[in-house]
Amino acid sequence: MGTGKYDDRGADRLEDYVRKRYGQDMSNSEMHLYVMGLRYLERQGAGLCETVVKSLAILAAAARLSINTVVLALEKCVALGLIDYMPGQALRRGAAAQVRRRSIQELEQGVSRAVLRRHTPIPAERNAERLRGRLFWYGGREVSPLWHAAKTGRLGMRKPCPQNDSKETRRDNLRGGLRQNHELVHVDFRQAEPTVGRHILTTENLCPAQWPADVYQELGAYLGQPRNDVKPLFMAGLFYSHSAVAHAHKWGILPGHFINELAKACDEYKARLWQRSKPRKGHRRHVHTLGGTLIEALKNERVHKGRLFNWQVQGTVADVMNAAVAELLDLEAERDWQFLFPVHDAVYLAGPAGSGREVEAIMQKHARALGLTLECETEETHPEPGEGLV
């Protein structure tokens, strides 16, 4: 953290050096962000060539540029080796990014002295970067969403956000952009989170003996509610709550019922996880996914037992999905696919007839790599006559 008066002369020397050495490779907006925006924020207290921790919205306001322009300018500055950049939860307006301008000595040596604290898994960041700037047809127009990675590794999008639409809406909005020799492929893991939770509880010798074929259906039948309506109740009440037993009692689950036994097992595991994740030197509260990904609380972030279990389960699903997404992107040209986007534990792409079987095999392969047996549900949609792109 910088202290005292800001080193304006040092900043002038750094910026003159960058203009002379890199100016021809930078656009006006990229240079404006580097010289005006980052210098302004350094003056607010960080100090010259120290880490600025601000949201992208604040970076954009400081440089008087749009968020989209700032994202592209930051990526260019990273490519040129001018800055160290850690997006954190990337393109969310309120999430803090870390940016640090490298000194002249670092630029001459091509080595950074910074160690920025990573908040999102590397595979998720790489996938978000690969998806950024891509175009696809949605709702009658070409769109290019902004992508971000959450701390669990889940990939999200906005402007637009088809992930928030229903499956039927997504299908209808994507179908109009299909080429005539392509079909829309949607492959979805069935009960991904309950399956991961079951695997974890089994390894801890806590899993109830009788696990039903469909846990959502089991709870829905008991409560007299449709399966899709109880999915969020199941996940939030049992896996991600502070006390699963309290939720089971609230639902009126009788002693000895599977849901009641599962609630006890979840609470016991959460207690164990809480003890294991005790903050130690150099770490805050944290968990590791089944794939080994570290998920750690942010500074001053309030964490309870259920949130740790949440991170572990969702992070494991994200491990599988990020590995699968990376392979699907690698195979695009060879298979004549157009990868569209992931939705938590599902993917959408356009490809020749029969592509769904291979996509399903790839997703299941990466699940098996973590010891998980995940079933898939595949839907292939053909464009209607006169529909789609030529």
Mean pLDDT of successive 10-residue stretches along the chain, which has 390 residues: 74 95 93 94 86 84 90 88 74 64 91 70 86 90 88 89 91 89 94 95 92 91 90 92 93 91 95 89 82 83 89 96 96 95 95 94 96 94 64
Q: Which of 74, 97, 117 is the last residue of a domain?
A: 117
- Domain around 129: 123-190+318-381
Same domain for 182 and 326, yes or no, is yes
| Residue 144 placed within a domain | yes
Chain Cα centroid distance, residue 253: 35
| Residue 301 placed within a domain | no
CATH code for the domain of 19: 1.10.10.10
| Residue 250 placed within a domain | no
Q: Which of 61, 91, 117 is the last residue of a domain?
A: 117
Q: What's the pLDDT score for residue 1? A: 44
Q: Which of 117, 144, 178 is the last residue of a domain?
A: 117
Same domain for 150 and 56, yes or no, is no
Same domain for 16 and 84, yes or no, is yes
Could you give phi then psi for residue 260, rounded to 5 degrees? Answer: -65, -40
Q: What's the pLDDT score for residue 88? A: 56
Same domain for 41 and 138, yes or no, is no
What does 190-203 look like in DSSP terms, one character per residue?
Answer: TTHHHHHHHHHHHH
| Residue 271 placed within a domain | no
CATH code for the domain of 327: 3.30.70.370
Q: What's the pLDDT score for residue 111? A: 78
Q: Tell me: the pLDDT tens digits for 273-296?
A: 999 988 876 668 889 999 999 888
| Residue 81 placed within a domain | yes
Calculate ∠ Cα 387-389-390, nearest 5°: 110
Which tokens go with 331? 């195979």
| Residue 308 placed within a domain | no
Q: What Rg value do the Cα atoms of the chain yield, rounded?
A: 24
Same domain for 171 and 144, yes or no, is yes
Task: Tell me how many domains the chain contains.
Answer: 2
The secondary structure of the chain in percent helix, strand, coil, rounded to multiples of 5, reads: 50, 15, 35
Same domain for 12 and 112, yes or no, is yes
